[in-house]
């Protein structure tokens, strides 16, 4: 009996989560596994009402779950930073979800903004470090509010933190078994402390994986190659900030935020799965948002808890409707409503 914590969150989060749960229910019937869901109302609405973001008691509870399914965090009436750090980053950090896994796969070349790229050209995975770097929140103001003000934001990289991420990426690349190429995406030419540590660690860990080809790309060049030659990539490993930036670009070349899913993984603990698109306030409550990113996040969740067959079936079902039904992957342009898209996935399943 799996215990799935559900955090629908803000904006369109609840609408897409509803479709993901519909698919979970169908998958459980088809593949014969049992689960219960436990709902949590963390998000902007609760914060505006109570001033509370994420109580420590919830963290303790979440640690007992099989997985967490998250919709979106972010509310137009709450100052930027409060919910993101108070809920999303707090979850990632306190559950030590040190990997942010972002598969980037184009399911239908009609929805790719790149000219002449086929489905097989956009098929790679970004392994983003998810617990350190600039996201650590270290830094300070000096002379705040004066003309001499200085704001310092520190990128914090530990050997242990870097190594466990890189090791995960090598293992993942081996298991994925595609071209067996792992690219380190960094900035060794300028950020000479952090990326020296990353490069050295990468080279050392590589010795344990002789069958994996290694490569290096600067982060700026990586963005260029995503547009020019995405087919060069198999698995990419990078730090928290660069990973955040390149995976938004990567989402666009796979067809947009409507299809992009991610996992916050603690390989030894509780992982959390989410569509990466955010709360999309302007589409909230209109039944127009694309739920496929959330459904793909559910597929990732199923794989993580050990229901690989169900995960594959859900992904195949998504691929089928993306190839044969949807007019677009963008909100309001799919040719179907949010609930209808969820129904199509269930029907194919
Ligand atoms: C993401 C998001 C978050 C991040 C925000 C909402 C804090 O952009 O998951 O990529 O920066 O990690
Ligand atoms: Mn992001």
Q: What's the domain count of the chain?
A: 2
Alpha carbon of 28 to ligand 1 centroid (Å): 30
Domain residue limits at 309? 1-100+259-349
- As for ligand 1, residues whose beta carbon falls within 6 Å of it are 84, 88, 244, 276
Alpha carbon of 15 to ligand 1 centroid (Å): 20
Look at the pTM and tell me if it is higher than 0.75: yes
Task: Say yes or no: 83 and 195 in one domain.
Answer: no
Final residue of a domain: which of 213, 233, 253? 253
| Residue of 44, 89, 90, 273 to mutate, ligand 1, most atoms within 8 A of C-beta | 89
pLDDT means per 10 residues, the chain with 349 residues, are 97 98 98 98 96 95 98 95 95 98 98 97 98 97 98 98 98 98 98 98 98 98 98 98 98 97 98 95 97 98 98 98 97 98 97
Final residue of a domain: which of 253, 281, 300? 253
- DSSP conformation letters of 117-143: --GGGSEEEEEEE-SSEEEEEEEEEES
Task: Say yes or no: 275 and 338 in one domain.
Answer: yes
Residue 186 lies in a domain: yes
CATH code of the domain containing 225: 3.40.718.10
Q: Which residues contact 301 (CB under 8 A, 6 or more apart)?
A: 4, 67, 69, 263, 271, 273, 311
Residue 247 CA: which ligand 1 atom is closest? Answer: 10
Residue 277 lies in a domain: yes
For residue 11, which ligand has an atom nearest its CA? Answer: 1
Task: Say yes or no: 309 and 332 in one domain.
Answer: yes
Residue 111 lies in a domain: no
Alpha carbon of 286 to ligand 1 centroid (Å): 24
pLDDT digits (tens, 9 = 90+) for 22-80: 999 999 999 999 999 999 999 999 999 999 999 999 999 999 999 999 999 999 999 99
Final residue of a domain: which of 253, 272, 289? 253
Choose among 328, 178, 184: nearest CA to 255: 328
**How far apart, in Å, do the first and last CA atoms of the chain sit?**
21
Whether the CB-CB separation of 302 and 311 falls below 8 Å is answered with yes
Task: Say yes or no: 44 and 85 in one domain.
Answer: yes
């Amino acid at each position: 009996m799996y215990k799935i914590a559900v955090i629908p969150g803000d904006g369109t989060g609840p609408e897409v989560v509803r479709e993901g749960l519909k698919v979970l229910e169908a998958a459980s019937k088809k593949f014969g596994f049992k689960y219960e869901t436990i709902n949590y109302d963390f998000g902007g609405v609760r914060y505006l009402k109570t001033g509370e973001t994420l109580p420590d008691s919830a963290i303790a509870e979440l640690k007992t779950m099989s997985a967490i399914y998250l919709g979106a965090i972010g509310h137009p009436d709450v100052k930027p930073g409060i919910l993101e750090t108070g809920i999303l980053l707090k979850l990632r950090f306190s559950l030590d979800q040190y990997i942010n896994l972002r598969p980037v796969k184009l399911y239908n070349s009609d929805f790719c903004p790149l000219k002449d790229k086929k489905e097989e050209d956009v098929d790679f995975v970004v392994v983003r470090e998810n617990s350190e770097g600039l996201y650590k929140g270290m830094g300070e103001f000096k002379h705040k509010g004066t003309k001499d003000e200085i704001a310092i934001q520190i990128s914090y990289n530990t050997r242990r933190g870097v190594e466990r991420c890189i090791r995960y990426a090598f293992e993942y690349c081996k298991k994925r078994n595609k071209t067996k190429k792992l690219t380190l995406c960094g900035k060794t030419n300028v950020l000479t402390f952090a990326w020296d540590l990353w490069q050295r660690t990468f080279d050392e860990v590589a010795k344990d994986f002789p069958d994996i080809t290694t490569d290096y790309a600067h982060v700026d060049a990586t963005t260029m190659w995503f547009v020019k030659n995405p087919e060069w990539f198999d698995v990419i490993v990078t730090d928290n900030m660069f990973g955040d930036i390149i995976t938004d670009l990567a989402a666009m070349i796979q067809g947009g935020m409507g299809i992009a899913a991610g996992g916050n993984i603690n390989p030894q603990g509780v992982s959390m799965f989410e569509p990466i698109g955010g709360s999309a306030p302007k589409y909230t409550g209109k039944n127009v948002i694309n739920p496929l990113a959330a459904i793909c996040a559910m597929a990732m969740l199923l794989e993580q808890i050990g229901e690989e067959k169900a995960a594959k079936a859900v992904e195949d079902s998504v691929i089928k409707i993306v190839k044969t039904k949807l007019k677009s992957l963008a909100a309001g342009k799919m040719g179907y409503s949010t609930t209808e898209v969820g129904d199509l996935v269930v029907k194919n399943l």
